[in-house]
Structure formats: structure tokens, C-alpha cells
Amino acid sequence: MQVILLNDVNNLGGANELVTVKDGYGRNYLIPHKLAVEANPTNLAKLKERQKQQAKKEAQLLAEINAVKAALQEKPLTIGAKTGTSGRIFGSVTNVQITRAIRDQRNYEIDRKRIQILDEVKELGTYKAKIDFGNGHEFEIEFEVVAE
């Protein structure tokens, strides 16, 4: 029996996927628990439409990610920090400060949890951070730590 999965099912497949299962498993478990629907011509047409819409959304999301990426990689972000006489900063630069700098300098709102600083930032200079947008879309940005 062929069914179209409505949700992700462990060891079977992901949502909007056409899979072949035993008749009893499909009729007695997947369909009653609303995890799948029978793969008839009507449901297959709906599946193709959902896949088209999802591809369109992914293309739009990819275009937005590329726009943000281009804006962030133009020039390094500037982050001010208080320093001692030796050039070492008090504390450390965090992803919260990078998020604030992106918001203030580039007018983009990025969640701080998506930003990972690659090196420990304890002195003035140029460093790199990685931004992860999910689904394998990640890139590095540069930021410069300057004295306030």
C-alpha cells in the first residue's frame, strides 16, 4: 500500500513523502493516527501542489538569506569594548553584542542563538563569527573589536 506521510515518522520517512508500507500498518496505524493519507490520485495532486509551494518558499528564503549575507559581508562590523592599558578588553565579546551590532549597523534582526563566535575574543582586533540559518545555510562574518 502506498501512503503519503503528513508528519515525520521515525524509520519511515519525512512529511510530504510517498512511501510503501504493509496494508495493515497503513490502515490500522498511520491513517487512523493522521500520520498519513492513502495515495490516491486526488491526494497525489495535493502532494505535488504542496511540494511546489514548499519549493517556492525555499527559493524565497534562499534569496533573503543571500541578501542578508551580502549586506553582512560588505565590511566588518565594529564592536566597541572597554580596554585596559595593555589592549586587553574587560570581559569578552559575546553573540549578544554581535546581534546588537548587526541590528544597529546593518538593520537586520538575527537571533543571538544562531551566532557562534569562532575564536575567544579577549583583545582588540578582527575576528570571525559563524551565522547558521538552518538547513545547511551558514556563513562567516568578520567583526572588528575597537576601543570605546
Residues forming beta bridges with residue 67, ordered by sequence position: none
Q: DSSP for 20-50?
A: E--HHHIIIIITTTTSEEE--HHHHHHHHHH
The count of other CB atoms within 10 Å of the CB of residue 9 is: 19
Question: What is the side-by-side order of every strand in the sheet holding 18-20?
Answer: 18-20, 2-5, 36-38
Look at residue 91 in the predicted model and tell me its pLDDT: 85
Give the pLDDT score at 31. 95
pLDDT computed for residue 75 by the predictor: 87
Per-residue confidence (pLDDT) for residue 121, from 0 to 100: 87
- pLDDT of amino acid 126: 92
Most confident of 34-43, 104-113, 134-143: 34-43
Burial of 2 (0-12, 13-18, 19+ CB in 10 A): middle
Helix axes 95-106, 41-72, angle to 10 degrees: 90
Nearest CA among 11, 106, 23 for reference residue 3: 23
Closest CA to 33 of 9, 53, 1: 9
Model pLDDT for residues 15-45, shown as the tens digit of each residue: 999 999 999 999 999 999 999 999 999 999 9
Q: How confident is the model at residue 120 (pLDDT cuts 50, 70, 90)?
A: confident
User: Tell me, what's the pLDDT at 38?
Assistant: 95
Domains in the chain, please, with CATH? 2-64 (3.40.5.10), 68-147 (3.10.430.100)
* 54-107: pLDDT as tens digits: 999 989 989 988 888 888 888 889 999 888 888 788 888 899 999 999 999 988
Identify the H or E element spanning 59.
Answer: helix 41-72
| Per-residue model confidence (pLDDT) at position 101 | 92
pTM for this entry: 0.68
CB 49, CB 43: distance < 8 Å: no
25: which 3 cell numbers? Answer: 500498518
